[in-house]
Amino acid sequence: YSMRQAIEEGFFLDLLQNHLGKYGSIEVGDLYEPPFTLIHSDGLDGVFDEPLVEELLTVIGSFTHKDNTGPAN
């Protein structure tokens, strides 16, 4: 585990936190677009190892935009 990898991971997570704070949600595809690809051209997959990617996607899934049309009766 290198210092560079730690810095890239921290920067990616900072971007993610800022995005969620600003917009309240995120789509998984956004993690493979700028500004996330400024850290690594492969976005999420280029910054984190596969086990961490899976964990992050699980957590991020709770922040995706959902179509809430109201309670079902």
CA–CA separation, 2 and 41 (whole Å): 19
Asked if residues 30 and 36 have their Cβ atoms less than 8 Å apart, the reply is: yes
Residues 5-57 pLDDT 10s:
999 999 999 999 999 999 988 899 999 999 999 999 999 999 999 999 999 99
Closest to 43 measured CA to CA, from 31, 56, 54, 51: 31
Give residue-wise pLDDT tens across range 51-62.
999 999 998 887
> In this predicted structure, what is the pLDDT of residue 57?
93
> What pLDDT sits at residue 10?
97
Which alpha helices (H) appear in the chain, and where do they start and end? 3-23, 44-47, 50-61
User: Alpha carbon of 60 to those of 4, 5, 30, 71, 73: distances in Å?
Assistant: 24, 20, 11, 23, 28
